Amino acid sequence: MTDGGDIGGGARKLARGEGVALWRQITQQMEREISGGQYGPGARLPTEAELAERFDVNRHTVRRAMEELEGRGLVRIEQGRGSFVAEDVVDYRLGPRTRFSENIRRQNREPGGRILRVEEMPAEAQLADLLGMRRGRPVVVVERLSLVDGRPLLIGTHHFPASRFGRIPDLLKENPSITAALVACGVPDYRRKVTRITARLPTAEESELLQQSRNRPVLVSEAVNVDPAGEVVDVTIARYAAGRMQMVVES
């Protein structure tokens, strides 16, 4: 065995004062061990205190490394329980006719969800432009948390022109399905016209609702939906727990 290193899983000496931060070296080492199969998916990792001792650094330094791994999607950290190797992702198809429930059921998983918020408010400039309506005219905003097998996957915020869809709040009280509410408003079908996608870290509220760590990004999609006549039905902004899904675009 070479200079104090123990490739089999023991402590490998960190290089101090050589330009590479200690926490980065710990990140790399843990990454090697996880992808090398030292710990299987879902397995529990040593505690921060143990790792700190093993690498002979302060616990804060280990924490910095673990936070990095969590953000990269390799581990999941739970307060009071420990750290675990990450697992499982859902495929989420993004097509012109994407409907959440069908999408999920196609993968033999159980869709679910609940309405978080329904309100009417004036349209801001950018939103009004996308909806093709005048600024300040009322829009109905519906926010929904969608689940897969009981785990939150996305937060969707829908914006409908109130002139045409003012009945939606009442309809949703009867039946929480947005698609059904649209049918009742005379929109039997709609399709996605354009989608913009980016990613960022979640706000405190988002990470709370999605039950996802602050370090894991959210995929943010902004979609414009139109009815068969090409009329804009709504603008939806959805935030997906990136750690739990992969968006699939077919073309």
Chain positions contacting DNA, by CB under 7 A: 17, 19, 21-24, 45, 47-49, 56-58, 60-61, 63-64, 77-83
Long-range contacts of 11-18 (CB under 8 A, 24+ apart): 11/54, 11/55, 11/56, 14/55, 14/56, 14/57
- The interface partner of residue 194, options being its own copies, DNA, none and the CB cut-off 5 to 8 Å by kind, is its own copies
Neighbours of 225 (CB within 10 A): 21
SS3 label, residue 15: coil
Nearer to its own copies, 185 or 247 (CB): 247
**Cα-based distances in Å from 238 to 1, 74, 105, 113, 229:** 52, 24, 19, 14, 24
**Integer Cα distance of 181 and 140 in angstroms:** 13
Binding site for its own copies (CB under 8 A): 24, 27, 68, 71-73, 89, 91, 94-96, 191-204, 214-219, 242-243, 245-251
- The interface partner of residue 225, options being DNA, its own copies, none and the CB cut-off 5 to 8 Å by kind, is none
Nearer to DNA, 22 or 171 (CB): 22
Q: Which of 157, 155, 163 is nearest to 122 (CA)?
A: 163
- The interface partner of residue 8, options being its own copies, DNA, none and the CB cut-off 5 to 8 Å by kind, is none
- The interface partner of residue 234, options being DNA, its own copies, none and the CB cut-off 5 to 8 Å by kind, is none
Q: How far is the CB of 39 from DNA (least distance, A)?
A: 13
